[in-house]
A and B are shown apart, each in its own frame.
Chain A
Amino acid sequence: MLHAFAVCRPLPLPHLAEVGGLSSAPVRTLRVGELALVVQEVPAESFTEEALRERLSVRAELERCARAHHEVVAAAARSTTVVPLPMATVHAGAARARAAVAERAGPLLAALDRLEGRAEWGVKVYIGPPGPGGTAERDRRSPTGPNPPGAAEGTGGLAYLERLRARRRSEEERDSLVLRVVERVRAEAARVAVATRPLRVHGVEVTGREHRQVLNLACLVEAGRGRELVARVTAPDRRTDPGARVRVEATGPWVPYSFAGEVVDEGR
């Protein structure tokens, strides 16, 4: 059984020799007309539906497979433009794999043309807890406020209402900050990127409760402009974010996973 990783033009891919992939067999390419499919022989018994379901339900195994798949795709991409295939694309044999590629040769070639010389960058925006300079905190400590310092920690009804009000104020502040920051980061990204595409934001299981992810954007960027994108989106913005609650993180360059499918869909 063959596992397929990516499609590219038939060129030498020397870096495939450096990666292990999903089995002990060598990672190689199958020529299909003007295209090449990066494949690896895998043991059929480990890639039946049942076996895959079982293995990939285990987090460690899912991670191992995902990283191995990603490594093969990345190794091929060091030599030429590639269209990545989703993990667990398997074929019964070389003939079936060739047929699958041949059937979609047109859109695949179009995708390679569109992605050539371009890379994907991830831009993620996180918002953290308010710092000591936040309005809510300032108000609570204000000696000129209606209550003496420390009143908000009291147990009376008034203190409760005061706490409620302070919390609402801090939430409103946060929401408006998020809107402004996301708007700014999107605009900066759009000035450099050929295309952008929102990805789903990661949950607190990944980010931790203190830092909520509010934007997860994939950007398709011309080679040579990655640095510019990163510099623009990560530049601190004291005017919008005086309390420094916002953190912008850029990752890349990635093989343009998030734009491969879209390109084919456009061609339909």
Chain B
Amino acid sequence: MSALPAAADPYDFPGDPGPPRTANLADILERVLDKGIVIAGDIRIDLLDIELLTIRLRLFVSSVDTAKRAGIDWWETDPSLSGRAARDALAEENRMLRERIAEVEAELPTATTSGRRAASPTGERRGR
């Protein structure tokens, strides 16, 4: 390594100065969205300004689907997500589950009731 010429560049791959430009999207997204220092996150703002932290968090929520398809799902487990984002995610999951249950129930209304009728006498016989 010491044989390499000392470059003005802070990195050490000659012929490849600076961070990779062709990196895959997932590598870039997990860095530019999730990492770095948040400045002014706690600034009080007036109506014409934009609260940076709010924007950042809402961005996360709104881009969940897009970034998820890129393979990143850190918001599902990241405790630094806002309470609102977490609530939104939970509410969305609840909604989808309720929909799914409704679909399943709609598909099997007769099977469920007849199953119950059939099971009951069998159970009584066994009990005797």
Contacts and interface: CB of A to CB of B under 8 A. Distances in A.
B87 interface: no
**Contact-residue bracket for chain B:** 35 or more
Main secondary structure of the interface of B (DSSP, over half): loop
Contacts of B122: none
Interface residues of A, number: 74
Interface in A147-196: none
A30 interface: no
B23 to A, nearest CB: 6
Interface in A93-133: 96, 99-101, 103-104, 107-108, 111, 116-119, 122
Contact of B39 (A75, A89, A116, A253): A89
Contacts, number: 197
A210 to B, nearest CB: 14
A228 B36 CA distance: 26
A240 interface: no
A89 B49 CA distance: 12
A66 B71 contact: no
13 contacts: A7-B39, A59-B69, A66-B29, A66-B32, A74-B18, A74-B19, A86-B36, A86-B38, A89-B39, A96-B43, A119-B12, A226-B11, A251-B20
Interface of B: 1-2, 4, 9-13, 17-21, 23-40, 43, 48-50, 52, 54-56, 58-59, 62-63, 65-74, 77
